[in-house]
């Protein structure tokens, strides 16, 4: 008789999700919620691990909310926004991938790939179509 089939692979582990929204409000991995007003044009480390770093630049902004209905009062908010995001990742083949995203150019991201101990750099720009939002076409 043929040997028994190996068992199916285990599903990948389920990790808690996190998110940043608004001016910015955070939901942490354990469901904790908080708001953060970053310093003036300061870059903060949002995530740092061995092969992945995510940094964000916060820009303060004062804006008015409300007033859209008869009972909605106007409210001045002294908040901040994440205006730029920087991601650096190291691939399994030792490539360093850097992505820089600016909210001022929401359909574009700068992408750079380098290799350790190799004099090589591949800069490119990713352009995201507003009509096909899940499609990103790199341009070299």
pLDDT of 55:
93
Give dist(CA 59, CA 67) in Å, integer. 25
Least confident of 34-38, 80-84, 86-90, 100-104: 34-38
| 119 phi and psi angles, rounded to 5 deg | -80, 75
The pLDDT, as a whole number, for residue 128 is 66
Closest residue by Cα to residue 46 from 26, 23, 17, 22: 26
In this prediction, residue 23 carries a pLDDT of 66
Enumerate residues 6+ apart whose C-beta is below 8 A from 35: 22, 23, 24, 25, 26, 79
What does the longest C-alpha to C-alpha distance in the chain come to? Answer: 79
Query: DSSP 3-state assignment of 9?
Result: coil
Q: 98-136, pLDDT tens digit by residue?
A: 889 888 887 778 888 887 776 666 667 777 666 665 555
Q: What is the pLDDT of residues 8-55, one digit of tens each?
A: 888 777 777 777 777 678 888 788 888 887 777 789 998 899 999 999
């Amino acid at each position: 008789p043929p040997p028994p089939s190996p068992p199916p692979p285990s599903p990948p582990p389920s990790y808690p999700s996190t998110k940043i929204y608004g001016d910015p409000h955070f939901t942490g991995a354990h469901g904790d919620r908080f708001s953060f007003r970053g310093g003036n044009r300061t870059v903060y480390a949002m995530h740092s691990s061995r092969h992945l770093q995510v940094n964000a630049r916060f820009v303060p902004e004062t804006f008015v909310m409300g007033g859209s209905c008869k009972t909605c009062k106007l409210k001045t908010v002294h908040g901040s926004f994440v205006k730029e995001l920087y991601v650096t990742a190291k691939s399994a083949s030792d490539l360093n991938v850097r992505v820089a995203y600016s909210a001022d150019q929401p359909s574009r991201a700068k992408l750079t790939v380098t290799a350790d101990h190799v004099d090589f750099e591949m800069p490119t720009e990713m352009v995201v179509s507003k009509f096909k939002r899940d499609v990103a076409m790199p341009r070299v």
